[in-house]
Amino acid sequence: MNILNLFNLTFDKKLLKYDLTSSYGLFSNDLSFFHFEIYFILSIITFLIFFVILSNKKNYRSNYYLNVGGIFVNLLPFVIILLIFILNNNTSDSYYLFAGFYYSDAAIVFFKNIILLGFLIFIFAIKQYISHFKHYDFEFILILFISLFSSILLLNSNDLISLFFIVELQSLTFYILVASKQTSSFSTESGLKYFILGCFSSGIILFGISLIYGFTGLLSYTDLTLFLSEVQITGFTLNSSSMSFSGFLVGFLLLTVGFLFKLGSVPFHMWMPDVYEGSPLFVTAYLSTIPKIALMFVIFKLYYCIFFEVFLFAQGLFTLTALFSIILGSVAAIYQIKLKRMLTYSMITNTGYLLFGLSLGDISGIYVTLFYLISYIFIMVGLFFCFLSLRDRSSGLLVKRINMFSNLFEVNPFLSFSIFILLFSIAGVPPLLGFYSKFFLFLFSLKYKMYWLTILFVIFSVISVFYYIRLVKLMYFNRSTGWVFLSDVPFLNSLVISVITIVNVFFFFNPNLLFKLIYNFSFYFYI
């Protein structure tokens, strides 16, 4: 061995020694930026230990074990508020942690704030929900809290492997939440269906990731972006038509199919009607709103930041699934007599509109999709709060069939008016908030000369108005012989419903604030 090789070997050993000794300092610095997630994890562990011990204590006046679900619900809002303060205390703009697996910036913090505030609103509804169903204890709320943690952690993922594990953690909590109503065989059946089909979609995502890694050797978002920046695409002709790139495209399409399955778009929607119908109404409300924010953020980041160079191959798939989702959801919802099943097909229709905006493939697509997503989540939260307030006074059961909306105007005129406004808003009736979201979507589709698609979307948008108007007809014009007397609407529920209704009605007076915010924010994904 010559002196030069010996010098290189010694130099390499010094570098290796330096890396090993500095790794602890590296990760200790990482943990200093990871304080929000550390507090979240410690809160979960503390709640688990404390409430397991407390739930095994018997009441000194009776022989029954303590029901600590109500205590958990009362403590959780303070924890969420403290989390929001800790999240916004970090002044760093953007940073990578844990060898690039974790990434955070101002846009991710903004989305985290939206998710935390949305979850805080849902805590107001669950307080009444827990009081009526005694079989729900702290485990249900703890699983809900863990699902919130997985949704927030999903935003910071910067690697395909970490993305897959976080999606699986989120899906596992969803399986438990759907099957959480132990006294209902429908809830257990829905949880089993969701578990089997969810594992199938997870297998598709994992197979796509394995193909991407097998043909490129890359998993990091940063590395994949650099790899794809070298690929020039003109139409469907590739200058770099190697076998490795063809295998990468197969993995990319499989990854796209897996995420379309998670979204529930046609033809990957077969799990949604049965699962959402059998799950408790609060779980249906939660699954269709808060987790969709995190999932759409990940889809934006993947297809507009990481895989934008090959977005052309997924664009046609997005357009076809959007078209089929709008057609099937608009037509199938007409024949539904159960409330949750009708709402599920309405969700499939709105997923189609989201995917159509996503398929535009530029800054306009991000803008209209973000605006549609925010308005859709906002309206659906108000609708679900209204439906969670429709509880029979005698039996304590929630309204399940749409024919039970008869005489609602006579029983509770203010609640029926809020439902009327929100139904017309999600149907796209001007000048409500939902009208602007559909109007901009159709306007930008005309800009890109998609005339036939725009005509079809307008026709099926008019068709979908039918099942919304049917509920309004039942509330205001139908008269039934048997009256259903409802329980009083809780104060927090009525406050949330009132605010959402007022915003929908008076949004057209000053819409520029939301327009400018979303337009400026959409550049984050496109630049």
Write the pLDDT tens digit of every residue in 87-139. Answer: 888 656 777 888 778 888 888 888 888 899 889 888 877 777 766 665 556 78
Picking from 206, 237, 217, 239, the residue whose alpha carbon sits closest to that of residue 312 is 237
Q: How far is CA 352 from CA 267, 323, 349, 386, 415, in A?
A: 11, 6, 5, 25, 29
Residue 10 domain-assigned? no
Q: What is the mean pLDDT of residues 25-41?
A: 72
Domain around 443? 31-235+261-525
- Residues 212-268 have pLDDT tens digits of 998 888 888 888 888 887 765 544 444 445 667 788 888 999 999 999 998 888 888
Picking from 148, 142, 92, the residue whose alpha carbon sits closest to that of residue 116 is 148
- Alpha helix (H) residue ranges in 217-310: 221-229, 243-263, 272-278, 281-287, 290-301
The band of 517, judged by pLDDT with boundaries at 50, 70 and 90, is confident
Residue 15 domain-assigned? no
Which residue type, as a one-letter code, is found at position 306?
Answer: I
Map tokens 């605010």 to a residue. 499
What whole-number distance in Å separates Cα of residue 429 and Cα of residue 421?
9
Residue 14 domain-assigned? no
Angle at CA 284, nearest 5°, toward 280 and 289?
Answer: 155
Residue 25 domain-assigned? no
What whole-number distance in Å separates Cα of residue 138 and Cα of residue 484?
32
Decide if 249 contacts 257 (C-beta within 8 A): no
Residue 252 domain-assigned? no
Structure tokens of 398? 């929630």
Give the count of domains, the chain: 1
pLDDT value of residue 326: 92
Decide if 428 contacts 438 (C-beta within 8 A): yes
- Residues 435-465 have pLDDT tens digits of 988 888 888 888 888 888 888 888 998 898 8
What whole-number distance in Å separates Cα of residue 281 and Cα of residue 129?
10
For residue 173, give the H/E element and its range: helix 160-178
- Residues 501-514 have pLDDT tens digits of 999 988 888 887 78
Residue 240 domain-assigned? no
What whole-number distance in Å separates Cα of residue 67 and Cα of residue 54?
9
Decide if 241 contacts 299 (C-beta within 8 A): no
Residue 441 domain-assigned? yes
Which residue type, as a one-letter code, is found at position 290?
Answer: I
- Residues 93-104 have pLDDT tens digits of 777 888 778 888
Residue 6 domain-assigned? no
What whole-number distance in Å separates Cα of residue 359 and Cα of residue 256?
12
Structure tokens of 520? 């400026």
